Amino acid sequence: MTDTNRVLDRVLTVEIARVTERAAVAAAKLRGRGDEVAADQAAVDSMRKELNALNIQGTVVIGEGERDEAPMLFIGEEVGTGTGPVVDIALDPLEGTTLTAKAMPDALAVIAIAEGGTLLHAPDVYMDKIAIGGGYEPGLVDLDASPQDNLKALAKAKGVPVSEITACILDRARHAKLIEEVRNSGAAIRLITDGDVAGVIHTTDPNETGIDIYLGIGGAPEGVLAAAALRCIGGQMQARLVTNNDEQRSRAARMGIEDFERKYNLNELASGDVMFAATGVTDGSILAGVKFDDKRITTDTVVMRASTGTVRWIKAQHSFLGKFD
């Protein structure tokens, strides 16, 4: 790691909260309206506006997609005022577009700001992931071990029977075998319809969330964002890209990936100093959703930084409703 205080200014740890707050408020106005695209667009527009007010020389490395498919916050887009530290940005202005459109739990506005060159430039393909919270011996679970072995090892380390372990898994047909294996091992499963950034982060506070381990295949960009959070808050994670055809492999190759089978550990997904922020859009297990009343808007945000391990929970009351339009 370089001299991190020179690269990531600590003022950014407060400034970064505004970026996700603003995106979350914009998306929250469209909660439950059945329109994923409009909610996502609102979050993107607002996040971009606030990001461009930050004193950074930022490059989006994980964004809304490649330039030809994303008009804004595309991979390679330069953001910030153009003065200040040179940083890489990973973002998902609305992680959980469907959750928002249906007003379901755990939709988040998410961003990570990192020292240049330290985040895996994940292509928009799938990624197989395993994650647990902090406090366990390194290598306790492994992406290549069976679910049974991982659950048994985790239960033993936690000092509980496997039946008291809960795994979080995306509810997808591709996970039928995984779900069966986890159930056969005796563990419980929290199935989620979307939102595996939150799913991974939930493992860091099992007492609050009821989730001990995240397993299964979700988006690769979401994997890097989740890894950035775990680097800050503590936890273990391993991941491997899942590329199913030549189009996906060439997508990965364009992002500089040479070994499509490589297993990444947490530090290879996000290696340097990184700040992570998430604001709740809908109510969730760790963050409340945006609340509106006639005088103010209330947001719930977590901001973390890897090099210091500081985790800030920021409940903000925004008095001027017009400010977010």
Number of residues that bind ligand VTB (CB under 6 A): 11
Would you count residue 195 as binding ligand VTB (CB under 6 A)?
yes
Would you count residue 115 as binding ligand VTB (CB under 6 A)?
no
Q: How far apart are CA 159 and CA 6, in angstroms?
A: 42
**Contact predicate 125/241, CB 8 Å:** yes
Among all chains, which residue has been given the structure tokens 């461009």? 52
**Contact predicate 171/192, CB 8 Å:** yes
What Cα–Cα distance (Å) separates residue 295 from each residue in 19, 292, 307, 318, 322?
Answer: 21, 8, 38, 9, 11
Would you count residue 222 as binding ligand VTB (CB under 6 A)?
yes
CB of 143 to ligand VTB, least distance (A): 16
CB of 14 to ligand VTB, least distance (A): 27
Q: Which is nearer to ligand VTB, 54 or 201 (CB)?
A: 201
Residues 227-286 that bind ligand VTB (CB under 6 A): none
CB of 145 to ligand VTB, least distance (A): 22
Q: How far apart are CA 225 and CA 222, in angstroms?
A: 5
Task: Report the residue from 194, 212, 273, 300 that binds ligand VTB according to the rule CB under 6 A.
Answer: 194
Beta-carbon contacts of 325 under 8 Å, excluding residues fewer than 6 positions away, are none
**Contact predicate 102/34, CB 8 Å:** yes
Q: Which is nearer to ligand VTB, 129 or 158 (CB)?
A: 129
DSSP 74-143: -TT-EES-S-S-EEEEEEEEEE-HHHHHTT-TT-EEEEEEEETT-B----SSEEEEEEEESSSPTTSS-T
Backbone angles phi, psi at 312, to 5 degrees: -110, 130
Task: Report the residue from 85, 216, 218, 280 that binds ligand VTB according to the rule CB under 6 A.
Answer: 218
Would you count residue 216 as binding ligand VTB (CB under 6 A)?
no
CB of 195 to ligand VTB, least distance (A): 5
CB of 153 to ligand VTB, least distance (A): 25
Q: Which is nearer to ligand VTB, 80 or 96 (CB)?
A: 96
Task: Report the residue from 96, 123, 280, 284 that binds ligand VTB according to the rule CB under 6 A.
Answer: 96
Q: Which is nearer to ligand VTB, 196 or 300 (CB)?
A: 196
At residue 236, the 3 state secondary structure works out as strand
Q: Which is nearer to ligand VTB, 170 or 232 (CB)?
A: 170
CB of 107 to ligand VTB, least distance (A): 8
Contact residues: ligand VTB, CB under 6 A: 95-96, 170, 172, 194-197, 218-219, 222
